[in-house]
Structure 1
């Protein structure tokens, strides 16, 4: 449980940046109405001039200036049309600035949230790591399931794992493994013959890993044949092995002859090697991609207020302890939360025992 002054500071930073993002996003989404309001102001400006010109009493001049009034109004119409074009150009520039600020604040919010979530602040009940090979590059993510129905997902950094710099072949884990994949009878004997597939060139295509099991698929790049292994970690003797090629899919462990000729120790050594790599990947958290709370992705929604309140409520005793020990103060908390909606600040301060 990583709740301390630093992690709370990261959480508050994330809230502050996310609230700024929400305001900027609202301005950005509603910018069309802002543009219309600016154009309306230009129209009102033109109307005021037109009314002044139209209602002007020219009798003291002793001449009819209707033609002059018409020319002035035509000029005003042209000038206002050009003014609206400038308004459009300026508005687009202003909108782009808002977009840049909005994206910057969102990235800062996620960056601070990454620092907070990387400390595993929630009680993790289970997790599943998913890894795939796309065009020779590995991508991985891990989904953590926590108490109170909350789950969150991290993108993992495969690029810094030496074994995953390129497609991971079976031979780099265990060399010379052969898997029995076909059986038959020779014409000269009644004995059953077994055909083996060499796995050295098979590479790791897909893996799904949790504390309970490993589900992994290896592929031969040339033949596109696949070997799939399901390895129950708590009951390794129930391992399942499937082989698939152009001729179809075969359950190796389900066939008595193929199973008898399978080197299960070598297969289990392969799975243990993969698990070791995946456990290393698991520690390389890169970016939190989702936090599901009440079946909503609060990152996608762009609103982490409910999550911050949840953390404050769940760990209020720890935050109060930080305050009592002088690691942080209510005044500091209020000062940090000054940029956000006052009601949010009041709620968070009240949670840790101070109502004012």
Structure 2
């Protein structure tokens, strides 16, 4: 018996099309970023499909994600991009995970714990080129000499690729200078990567050994103009109730008095399902291929939409929250703009219960 009121569908054929499209843009190998459950799209499913398509490197945020991939028989290299707690570093040193070196303080702590076994860890050093989040500054690199460490790769992260060419180029030059310095110090930097999704499309020279791609693979637009990328997430539900509201009656929470007679439909999805509260009175759904605006506030597991202009709506009819219906489409970019957020936020939230 089907009891789910919300259906999430991930189109792996479109995912493959997006991957092939990106492969035509860059000569670099692709590191598929599957952090945050592959941006809500299902980390294990995306990773397995990626390996079938020849991907040999994945990026995750945290140790738990790397462990989940290994438990599900993902064999490719895994780079942990974020923080690893000190109490886990012994376990990591006994694994094949590649971890990010992002500060001298972090390295000193790991050295205190592991001693000579620090050499067992494969690091990718994160160079701070202007993002000022994680990363070691170029003038700190000399201090790495005293450690017996294996730095296999180096990377950085563009802060505004696709929007500010001057800043992006400056970051790229700082990164290249840092890599040259590391090599002069005797480190064998085999793998270099700096491009995110936006960087891939901004300038081909930024595609070094690998490019780290997340959002573009999932069909999200990384630039301020449309690329031939296809969203792979569709979310559907149903009409759960229909009511006729008279002028002067309230709709939903708070004081939300209708200024006219209106026919409404109740849709069983809300902010507990990742549908943002900020879409109250701004968002819309598709019913019978028609746009139906949200009236009132987004509730915990329900929204209310205006169906006055629709002729035939019945309880149980299909409702599209994200995706296509007939000739109409709701994209992550549309919902992101309405909610004053980024499309990544939309899919991460809506995909959280997958």
Q: TM-score range by the shorter chain?
A: under 0.3
Q: Which has the larger radius of gyration?
A: 1
Larger helix percent: 1
Give me the TM-score of the superposition, normalised by structure 1: 0.25
Give me the TM-score of the superposition, normalised by structure 2: 0.25
